[in-house]
Amino acid sequence: MASAESRSDSSVHLWRRGTTFSTTVWIALIGGFVIGRFAAWPLWPTDLWDHINYGRYILETGSIPATEPLLPAAEGARFVATAWLSQVMMAVLADTPWLGLAALQFVYALLVAVAVTAVVATVFRRCQRYVPAIVAAAAFLAINWEQLKIIRPQLLGVPCFAVLLMLLSRSRRLSGRSLVAVSLMFVVWANCHGSFAVGLTLIGLDIAGRAADLCHRTGSVRAVAHSRLIRQRVQLLGLCCLAGLLNPFGAEIYLEVLRVGRHPNIDSMFEWAPLSLSMRQGRATAVVTILWLASIPATPARRRICTLLPLLFFGVLAVWSSRMLNWYAPVVAVSLGGQLAAIARTWRRMPGPDADNRHPRWTLASSLLLLMLFCRTNWGAACLHLRNVQPAEVLARYTPLQITRFLKNSDLPPGQALIPAEWAGFVMYSLEGRLQSYVNLHVHVIPETVWQEYLSLLRGPSDLSARLAQLNINLVVVDSRRHRRLWQRLRKSDDFSEIYADPQGTVFRRR
C-alpha cells in the first residue's frame, strides 16, 4: 500500500514539475517539420497497396497464406509473410471508415517523427545543445529522404532501429524494464518486417565493439568476461533472438530474411541497386560522410570501436544496396552529432538550455503545440470535422486514379491483366478482386521466369500478341510515358483495341 502511494505521489510531483523548455522546443521543431511535412505527403502507390491487399486477404480468410494468394501466374509459389502484422494494420487503417487514408498518412508521419526524435534524443542528452542535435536530424533526413517517401512495412523498422540505437549508445546498464521493453519491441518488429534482423546485428556489433574497447583499454581479455555491461548486452541479444521466434513461422523467419536479399528478381529493382553519386541519396550520403570525417580532427572525445564498427558495417551495406541506407542514416547521423556534441562541450557560447528548467507552463505549451500540429494533419482535420479530406488530396499524382475509375465502371474480360507493377496494387485494391494482375511489386515471391517474362513484355517484343494470348492476358494497362514501345506495338496490333486513354496511360482490350 505504501509503495502504491509513493508511486502516486511521485507521478503527481513529476506532473507539478512539468516538462522542460527544451521539450517544448523539440516538439515545435520536430513536430512542425516532420508532422507538417510527412502528414501531408501524398501516398506513393508503389509497395503500399500490395501490402494492403495482402492484409485484406489475411483479414478476410482469417489465416496467413503459405503460397502466393493474389497472382495466378505465381500460384503455388512459396510465401512467407514476414510483414503480415504490418500488412493487417495497414489494411485496417485504409478500410475503416473513420480512419481511412488520412489516418494511414498520419501514422506514417508519426513513425518518421519517432525515428527523428530518437536520433535527436541520443545526441541532445550528451551536451544539452541544440545545434549538434539539429545537424544530426538533418543528416538523418537528408540521407534517408528517398527511403522515407514510400510507405512500406520496412518503415516501422526505422524508428525501432533508431530507438534501439539510442538505448545502446548509453554507457551504462539497462534497467530491467528496458530489457523487457526492448524484447517486446522485437516481438512486434519480427511480426511487422524482416528488418528486425538488422536490430539483432546492431546489438551484436555493439557487444563486439565494447569488448574490443575494453580489451584495448585494460589489455586483458578477462575484463570482457567480468564486465557486467557486456554480459547484460549478451543477455539482451539472447532475449531479442528468442523474441524474434514469436511469430507464425518460428525459426524459418531467419532463413526467409536471408532468402529475400538473394532473390534474383531483386537485381532488376532500382532501389536495391548499389549506391552511387548519380542518386540524390548517394550525394547526400557523401556530403554527410565527408562532414563526419572532417569533424574527427576537431573532436576531443576518444574514438571508440563500438561507435566505428556499426558505421563501417552499415556503410558497406549501403554501398552494396541503397535500400540499406535506412540503417546507415541513423548510425552516421548519431555519430556526427556526437562528435559535434563533444566539440560543443568545449565551446560554451553555443546556444543551449539551462540544466533543469521544468515548469507546468511548458507542459501546457507542449500540449497546445501537439493539438495544433494534430489539427494541421489531414486526419486531424477530418476527426475534428474541420474539413472533408478527399482521396485526391491524399494520393500522389502518379496514382492511376482516372484509369482505375474507368476500369471500375467497365465490363472486364476474363483472364489476367498486364498492369505496370507499380500500379497493380492500387488497381487491384480499388477493384476489390474483380481484376487479377500478372505481377505486382512483391518480386521476391514471384518466380524468376514470370518476372523476366513481365520485363520482356514491357519492352514490346515482336511476338507480343502471341505471348499475351499464351498467358491468357486479355487486358493491358500501359504507362504511356515509360513503356512507349509497348504502347506503339499494341496500337498497331490487330488483336487489341484501345478502349481508354488519358495523359497518364492507355487501356487495351483483346478484340
Does the pLDDT at position 356 exceed 60?
A: no
Name the amino acid, one letter, at 211: A
Quick one: average pLDDT of 259-265? 85
Residues 6+ apart with CB under 8 A from 508: 475, 476, 477, 478, 490, 493, 496, 497, 498, 499
How far, in Å, CA of 189 to CA of 328, rounded? 18
Quick one: average pLDDT of 477-481? 93
Q: How confident is the model over 121-158, as pLDDT tens digits?
A: 999 988 788 889 999 999 999 999 999 988 999 999 99
Strand order, beta sheet including 473-479? 436-437, 416-418, 473-479, 505-510, 496-501
The DSSP line for 116-156 is: HHHHHHHHHHHH--HHHHHHHHHHHHHHHHHHHTS--THHH
How far, in Å, CA of 19 to CA of 356, rounded? 10
Quick one: average pLDDT of 185-193? 96
How far, in Å, CA of 221 to CA of 200, rounded? 24
Q: Estimate to the nearest angstrom the gap between the alpha carbon of 469 and the chain centroid.
A: 39
Give SS3 for 351. coil
What does the angle CA 89 – CA 151 – CA 147 come to, to the nearest 5 degrees? 145
Does the pLDDT at position 303 exceed 80?
A: no
State the pLDDT confidence band at 286, using cuts at 50, 70 and 90: very high
Mean pLDDT of the chain: 88
Provide the residue ranges of all domains of the chain, joining segments of one domain with +: 19-344, 401-510
Does pTM surpass 0.85? yes
Q: What's the DSSP call for residue 19?
A: B
Give the lowest-confidence range in 288-302, 425-439, 470-484: 288-302
- C-alpha cell belonging to residue 437: 494482375
Q: How confident is the model over 171-180, as pLDDT tens digits?
A: 788 888 999 9
Confidence at residue 7, expressed as pLDDT on a 0 to 100 scale: 42
Does the pLDDT at position 497 exceed 70?
A: yes
Confidence at residue 1, expressed as pLDDT on a 0 to 100 scale: 43
How far, in Å, CA of 378 to CA of 394, rounded? 8
- C-alpha cell belonging to residue 285: 550520403
Quick one: average pLDDT of 70-85? 93
Distances (CA, A) of 156 to 107, 245, 306, 317, 423: 10, 18, 25, 20, 23
Beta bridge partners of 359: 19
Distances (CA, A) of 95 to 55, 103, 104, 176, 480: 10, 10, 10, 39, 30
Confidence at residue 173, expressed as pLDDT on a 0 to 100 scale: 84
Q: Cβ–Cβ contacts within 10 Å for residue 246, how many?
A: 15
Quick one: average pLDDT of 194-220? 92
Does the pLDDT at position 334 exceed 90?
A: yes
What does the angle CA 56 – CA 61 – CA 63 come to, to the nearest 5 degrees? 100
Confidence at residue 353, expressed as pLDDT on a 0 to 100 scale: 53
Quick one: average pLDDT of 316-339? 94
Does the pLDDT at position 328 exceed 70?
A: yes
Contact predicate 101/90, CB 8 Å: no
Q: How confident is the model over 10-61, as pLDDT tens digits?
A: 344 434 455 778 888 888 888 888 887 888 888 887 889 999 999 999 999 9
Give SS3 for 493. coil
Give the lowest-confidence range in 26-35, 82-91, 287-296: 26-35
Confidence at residue 18, expressed as pLDDT on a 0 to 100 scale: 58
Give SS3 for 97. coil
Does the pLDDT at position 358 exceed 80?
A: no
First to last CA, the chain: 81
